[in-house]
Chains A and B, each alone.
Chain A
Amino acid sequence: MATAHSRAAARLMLSPAVILLLGWMIIPLSLTIYFSFLRYNLLMPGQEEWIGFLNYEFFLTDPAFFAALTNTLILVAGVLVITIGGGILLALLLDQPFFGQGIVRILVIAPFFVMPTVSALVWKNMFMNPVNGLFAWVAKLFGLPAFDFLAHAPLASIILIVAWQWLPFATLILLTALQSLDSEQLEASEMDGAPPLSRFRFIILPHLARAITVVILIQTIFLLSIFAEILVTTNGGPGYATTNITFLVYAQSLLQFDVGGGSAGGIVAVILANIVAIFLMRMIGKNLDI
């Protein structure tokens, strides 16, 4: 039994973390909300004035916003499809007994630990460069003309780079979930003569459902705010071809110094992320037996 004394001590020990996070959430966020209602440009100091929802109106009706929203959705969806599909196949493969399991696992996980700026630059220069990249050389081997990935398929190229970084994460989690599958159930179905495909459909996939949901939700949170990969490869271009919401807000506030407009965009990004977050929180909350 916890005594009143230890209860008070517990509250005291909890308070620094709570106060700090509360401050981190409330102070900047309320400032962002406040700025989003101002005409506020860093190049015109002292001329701030209240303009109501005008920033939101400008931000939401700007064609760049629509492009950025579409790009954000394509980026998130594209990476999710590749990493979940690839992750399931890879997890099924790595779950089989084979020689050198430990080493292969290490090889597969490695991309997750590569910092985003490194992976983006390595892919951009050493693989996708139309003159000196490795892909150009492979194309030449087959007698094909070299393809300028980041100029002609910029968003697809970024999806490829980001998917490479996140495939290990999906694989690792799905593999962990797969290993907790009761093997007797599989054996029983095997003896009943169930073909592999229906074993996958009716036993393995339902078992993985929860892990897949977790992967989708967590990756979505991170993928909505992809930034470094875009900054070092395409800088959002050509045009707005690879600008996502995060990058648009960054460009508006720190490159064009439009604090008001950028803040309105930031709040829009917060609202979008919250829609995903609510589902994720429910998933995790269900698992929390306190």
Chain B
Amino acid sequence: MAREVTTQRKLLVTVLAWAIGLLIFFPILWTILTSFKTEAEAIASPPSFLFFEWTTENYSEVQQRSDYFRHFWNSVVISVGSTLLGLAIAIPAAWSMAFVPSKATRNILMWMLSTKMLPAVGVLIPIYLIFRDTGLLDTRFGLVIVLTLINLPIIVWMLFTYFREIPGEILEAARMDGAELRSEIIYVLVPMAVPGIASTLLLNIILAWNEAFWTLNLTAANAAPLTAFIASYSSPEGLFYAKLSAASTMAIAPILILGWFSQKQLVRGLTFGAVK
């Protein structure tokens, strides 16, 4: 039985919740608003909240000044590439652990998780030197490799928690019907696992898109994704609020939208199934 809720109480909670929600969201809202102002208006005191002359020239100027689309494309290639590569490696691994568990499965899973706990800075120097000597420094390919490896444990874990919920009998029935292992995976497992795979894909694109240790340390001019593109605005000559806001809005908008779709999976993915 649901508890009775008085309208008065519900209204009070509504006001409070909206106020706090807007307060938390305000920095993002303010960034978006400022991106449509002129530079003079962006630093005006008192600041104008809605009643200013809306302009979109900041967006075209950011594109001209620092070639947004090139960085955007780098971000897309790096985050999507590393996620797809990670899925290609992780789907077979998670499948085998979920459906043919052995005594070692538990230890393998825990060990994979432990690689994720390795602080990046502990392996920064060797990776940097290896990349320098093999010409991978400042290439998208190099970053795809690194991000695949750092996110692989999360991908395996997420897929494992989803695959485990698929009843094994269905697979056996398919096998009885004479299905080969390969077709078993493609025609039976994949359709049932698609929702789980999709959430894993989404969450990992988000994580890779926002990754800001390796992308900052291993790129310069060529392969720099949006994280590094924005960091270039930290120099004092880049102190143009409206342009900074336009660049920021463009950097976060795609992932903000993806993120809102994946909020439920976020909990499961980031807690490795410990909270569902």
Enumerate 9 A-B pairs (CB-CB under 8 Å) in ascending A order: A6-B100, A16-B93, A111-B27, A115-B210, A121-B244, A125-B241, A126-B241, A262-B125, A287-B273
Which residues of A are found within 8 Å of B20, using beta-carbon distances? 90, 93, 108
Whether the pair A118, B248 counts as a contact (CB closer than 8 A) is yes
Query: A47 near B: Cβ within 8 Å?
Result: no
B-contact bits for A112-138, CB 8 A (1 contact / 0 none): 111111110111111100001010010
Query: B111 to chain A: closest CB distance in Å?
Result: 8
Query: A71 near B: Cβ within 8 Å?
Result: no
Whether the pair B126, A273 counts as a contact (CB closer than 8 A) is no
CA of A84 to CA of B177, assembled, Å: 52
Query: A51 near B: Cβ within 8 Å?
Result: no
Query: B33 to chain A: closest CB distance in Å?
Result: 10
**Which residues of B line the A interface, CB within 8 A?**
1-3, 5, 10-11, 13-14, 16-18, 20-22, 24-25, 27-28, 30-31, 34, 43, 45-47, 89-90, 92-93, 95-97, 99-102, 105-106, 108-110, 112-130, 149, 152-153, 156, 181, 206, 209-210, 212-213, 216-217, 226-228, 230-231, 233-234, 239, 241, 244-245, 248, 251-252, 255-256, 258-260, 263, 266-267, 270-276
Which residues of B are found within 8 Å of A221, using beta-carbon distances? 116-117
> Which secondary structure dominates where chain B touches chain A?
helix
Give me the 4 closest cross-chain CB pairs, A-B, nearest first: A13-B92, A10-B96, A113-B259, A228-B212
Whether the pair B227, A228 counts as a contact (CB closer than 8 A) is yes
CA of A269 to CA of B125, assembled, Å: 13
* Interface residue from A100, A109, A265, A290 paired with B260 (Cβ < 8 Å): A109
Query: A157 near B: Cβ within 8 Å?
Result: no
CA of A164 to CA of B20, assembled, Å: 13
* Interface residue from B21, B97, B181, B244 paired with A9 (Cβ < 8 Å): B181
Name the interface size band of chain A: 35 or more
Query: A26 to chain B: closest CB distance in Å?
Result: 10
> Which secondary structure dominates where chain A touches chain B?
helix
CA of A273 to CA of B117, assembled, Å: 7
CA of A20 to CA of B181, assembled, Å: 24
CA of A3 to CA of B253, assembled, Å: 49
Query: B8 to chain A: closest CB distance in Å?
Result: 12
CA of A250 to CA of B212, assembled, Å: 13
Whether the pair A117, B14 counts as a contact (CB closer than 8 A) is no
Whether the pair B22, A107 counts as a contact (CB closer than 8 A) is yes
- Which of A11-59 touch B at CB < 8 Å? 11, 13-14, 16-18, 20-21, 24-25, 27-29, 31-32, 35
Whether the pair A116, B121 counts as a contact (CB closer than 8 A) is no
Query: A36 to chain B: closest CB distance in Å?
Result: 9
Which residues of B are found within 8 Å of A276, using beta-carbon distances? 117
- Which of A230-253 touch B at CB < 8 Å? 231-233, 245-246, 249-250, 253
Whether the pair A97, B127 counts as a contact (CB closer than 8 A) is no
